[in-house]
Chain A
Amino acid sequence: MRISERKLSAFFKKHHTIFVSVALALYSLHLALTYQKDVPRGYIVRETLSVMVTPVERLILAVRGGAVGAWSRYVFLVGLTDENAELQRRILELQDENNRLKEEAASGRRLKDIFEYADAAPFNATAASVTAYGAGLWSRTVTINKGAAAGMDKDLAVITSSGVVGRVIEAGTRSSTVLLATDVRSAIDVFVERSRTKGVVEGNGEDGLILKYIRLDDDVSVGDRILTSGIAGVFPKGLVVGEVVRIEKSKDNFFKYIEVRPAANLATVEDVIVVTDTGFHSND
């Protein structure tokens, strides 16, 4: 008995890395396969990582802004003669100021659009800025600069004045993760504006959307606008999701395969509106 115990112990010692690997791999798989269950997971880790990474991301963005300005000034200054140095410097200052004003004007226009839209919308909303884009190859997410402290919560709708962006999937204290409509986990109840045909828009995992559950005899054409139906309760009814760009017969010969281009440019979105009202339920 002792010999076999010793053998077992020696066997475990010899292969303990493999045993630990298999155990942790199975635990990870368990986490992944039970992910969709409504259990908050990794909150402390998420908060800790958020606290560590968000300041670095902000610093990087600030340094990038400064470096771009300094580099452009440096490039223009190289090779100038003494005679026109002062004039060139003045030109640079004016160019710099002009660029800054242009950027401020653009930013102002974006914010004006956002605030006008938020003010006119028949629901309560708050503006937020994107601070980082999801680094995962398999997911489409962005991080915004508002969290639970600013009233963010899971499943709040995120939009722009152009259309739907996605929904909040994790609300940290000072930042939140938004699942973009193009992520494969996203599903939005919609209808076709022209024919009122109902369906579900899902992300294709890249930069597009797929309109599902539209039967072959349903009336949908290229160019049709797709709007939120308000049925699931996350998005208010009537928000623009996108436009139909391609229709094919699907392999099952029952539904159409329809590609939709998102109305909002999700790859470069900078400022968003978070709808803080919940429980939109259309009776249509």
Chain B
Amino acid sequence: MKEIIIFFPIALLYAALKGTLFASIPLPDVPLLMVFYAAYRRPSVEGVLLAFVLGYMEDVLGGGIIGSASFALIAVFLAAHLLAKKVQFSTRGTRAGGAFAAVLIKGALVYTVIRLSNLTAHILTDVLIQAVVTAVFAPAILTLTARLALRLAPAPWKGDAS
């Protein structure tokens, strides 16, 4: 549980940095990577709650439609969790590819929620840029996340041997 709780202050720091120093620079979607990590390494109820909380936080701090990001992140968690039964996210390529797909899934779901709310959005380019940036940084961030989780929870998680 504590390895999940440690993600929360990291996500808060990420939100503060993104809102100030890096307001106009595309950053990798760190909360999404945390959820992705929790889904393929630790598919548990704590992971689902993490997805909900990080999504809710993103909606609140980003001024977005409350519920949209949490809905999308839970769906990403579920998709990664089910996919992890077939695919081992153990190489750089699969992690980058998985992160790329996860950003696209999140983007498509938030877009759908916006459209269902009778609003219009045209930011496909932004989603693609975010997906590329997240995919590039995903292997490094996921490795760091794994090391951090391992320090906090010495019990091996699924795929720790990789």
Which residues on A are within 8 Å of B, measured CB to CB? 16-18, 20-22, 24-25, 27-33, 35-36, 41-42, 45-46, 49, 52-53, 56-57, 60-61, 64, 131-141, 143, 169-170, 177, 179, 183-185, 202, 204-206, 267
Given contacts A20-B48, A35-B68, A136-B61, 16 further A-B contacts (CB under 8 A): A29-B113, A32-B117, A33-B116, A42-B56, A56-B12, A64-B20, A131-B20, A134-B19, A134-B64, A136-B63, A137-B126, A138-B68, A141-B63, A184-B120, A185-B65, A205-B121
What residues of B have a CB within 8 angstroms of the CB of A169 in the complex?
A: 63
Determine whether B13 belongs to the interface, using a CB cutoff of 8 Å to chain A: yes
Complex contacts, B126 vs chain A, CB 8 Å? 137, 206
Q: Does B75 contact A (CB under 8 A)?
A: yes
By beta carbon, the residue of chain B nearest A202 is B120
Q: Which residues of A contact B24 (CB under 8 A)?
A: 133, 267
Residues of A with C-beta under 8 A to B110? 137-138
Are B117 and A33 touching (Cβ within 8 A)? yes
Of the listed stretches B39-47, B93-101, B145-153, B154-162, name the one at the interface; the rest are far from the partner chain: B39-47
Q: A46-B60, A49-B60, A204-B122 are in contact. Are A28 and B74 (CB under 8 A)?
A: yes
Instruction: Report whether B55 and A28 are in contact in the complex, using a CB–CB cutoff of 8 Å.
Output: yes
Chain B: minimal CB distance from A268 (Å):
9
Question: Quick check: A137 and B127 within 8 Å, CB to CB?
Answer: yes
CA A189 to CA B43, docked complex, whole Å: 49
Complex: how many Å from CA A55 to CA B60? 17
Nearest B residue (CB) for A17: B43
Q: Are A52 and B74 in contact (CB under 8 A)?
A: no
B residues in contact with A20, CB < 8 Å:
45, 48
25 pairs across A/B with beta carbons < 8 Å? Answer: A20-B45, A21-B78, A21-B81, A28-B52, A28-B56, A31-B71, A32-B68, A32-B113, A32-B117, A33-B117, A35-B67, A45-B56, A45-B60, A49-B60, A57-B19, A133-B20, A133-B23, A135-B18, A136-B59, A137-B62, A137-B127, A184-B119, A184-B121, A206-B123, A267-B24
